[in-house]
Amino acid sequence: MHHLSYLVSHYGYFGIIVALIGGIIGLPIPDEVLLTYVGYNVFQGKMAFLPSVASALFGACCGITLSFLLGIKLGVPFLNKYGPKLHISEAKVARTRKLFDKFGPFLLLIGFFIPGVRHITAYLAGINSYSYKKFSLFAYTGAIIWCTIFITLGRALGENWIDFRFYFSKYSIYLVLIFVLGCVIFYNFWRKRKMQKVF
């Protein structure tokens, strides 16, 4: 936490960008805690809300785009060789690949809310030769929702933002399951509507 507060307090919006690029690529940075802490800084008046969200969005989009490009250029061998150094284990890759096969590009959207998954989805999109248009539609939409929610949460919690770390670590799996369930329901509804239009 000390490193995150140093980044934000000394480098401001630029610090947010750098931290999120690293976090999305796979460095061990607690992204949700960082975003909530940024929201707390907004609550304190040390940062402005819109520039904070814009900086977070820029960092998240740069990070996930870089992962996507690495997936295109370097493919599976890159993940196998450098994945463990980025805390991306073979088990995580296998689990995410199964989800990716099932939900496809939709996982790019909801993957931001699943720790350990958001780091891999863009690599897999690149490896699977997704078009940039298809990738960006889902990935950037997910980034917008993710950044806005957690920064807003930090601002809303104010002085109690620190409690977020405890509750998130304890209940994050339930929150993620609820969110993913909601997204799956929406995805199935959207797919059925799309199929009805085709026929």
pLDDT in tens, 66-112: 989 988 888 777 777 766 666 666 777 777 777 777 777 788 888 88
Share of the chain above pLDDT 90, in %: 23
Lowest-confidence segment of 1-10, 120-129, 141-150, 171-180 by average pLDDT: 171-180
Cα separation, 163 vs 198, whole angstroms: 48
Q: What is the DSSP string of 104-172?
A: TTHHHHHGGGSTTTHHHHHHHHHHTT--HHHHHHHHHHHHHHHHHHHHHHHHHHGGGGGHHHHHHHHHH
Cα separation, 102 vs 132, whole angstroms: 20
Provide the pLDDT for residue 29: 75
- Is residue 162 scored above 80 in pLDDT? no
Identify whether the C-beta of residue 90 lies closer than 8 Å to the C-beta of residue 35: no
State the pTM of this model: 0.76
Higher pLDDT, 149 or 83: 149
Domain parsing of the chain, residue ranges: 2-170
**What confidence tier does 199 reach under pLDDT thresholds 50, 70, 90?**
low
